[in-house]
Structure formats: C-alpha cells, structure tokens
Amino acid sequence: MPVVSDFVLIQESGVNIGDSGTSLFEKNFGTGGRYSNAPAMIMLMVKGLTAAGDTTVRVNNKTIGVIEYQPGASPHHWFTQIIPFPGNYLRNGNNELEVRAKLYPNGNDSFDDFKIANVVCFFHQEA
C-alpha cells in the first residue's frame, strides 16, 4: 500500500507567548487518515526566546521536543525550528498542540516573552 505525506497549517499569524500574551498556547488540528508507523514533525517560526532556555512542546499530552532558545540573538529575528516525533503520537482525527511559556531566569518579568508563527504539522497518510 502506498504511503503519501500531508500537512496541516496549525497557526499562521504570530502568537505572543509569555507576559505579553498567553502562558499556554493550545491549538487543535486534524490529521485524518494519518499513517501511524512513520514519523511526523512540527515546523514553526519563533522569535524572542533569547534568555530563559528551551521550552517544551507537546502533542496530545506527550512531549515531542523543545523550541530551542537563541541566547544573545536579536528578539526581532525569526528562526525556523523543526521538531520530529513518532507518528503514533498523532490521532487519526483531532489533535492538540501545546507550547508553554518559559519562566524568566531573573528580573521583573515572569516569563521570557516570545512569538511563534507559521506552525505546520507534517505527517504521513495512507493512500
């Protein structure tokens, strides 16, 4: 049986995470007809995660990896991040993506503010 690839756009416009936005970004997305025996990946753009360290990314309450922080980088530059994970973490239908704010190491802020955009999930699909 042939296996093909598919993708779903989870979030296009930028979302603020941290003190200037939400401390927990949650978004539902569908992966109907997905093939669970092949890997999947989340690809996204991030900017502003420059001080607190990596932040955890979860799909369906399972940790799939981290968004890596960019120490010393300009908070105005976008970086592409790719997080591969097992395809069987996805459901054949509705799924949930979670990105949590990262506690700021010191100062008056509670969180290291950052922004994500163009969040896409790539997955294999049965033909």
Q: Does residue 110 contact residue 104 with C-beta atoms inside 8 Å?
A: yes
Q: Around Cβ 13, how many Cβ atoms within 10 Å?
A: 7
- Could you tell me the end-to-end alpha-carbon distance of the chain, in angstroms, rounded to an integer? 7
Q: 28-72 pLDDT, tens per residue?
A: 999 988 988 999 999 999 999 888 788 999 999 999 999 999 988
| CA 54 – CA 47 distance, rounded (Å) | 12
Give the span between the Cα atoms of 54 and 101, in whole angstroms. Answer: 10
User: Residue 103's pLDDT is what?
Assistant: 78
Q: Which residues contact 93 (CB under 8 A, 6 or more apart)?
A: 30, 31, 32
The answer to whether residues 23 and 101 touch, using CB atoms and an 8 Å cutoff, is: yes
Report field, pTM of the whole predicted structure over 0.75:
yes
Q: Is the dihedral of CA 56, 98, 21, 12 positive or negative?
A: positive
Q: Are 30 and 92 in contact (CB under 8 A)?
A: no
Residue 1 banded pLDDT, cuts 50, 70, 90: low
pLDDT the model gives residue 72: 87
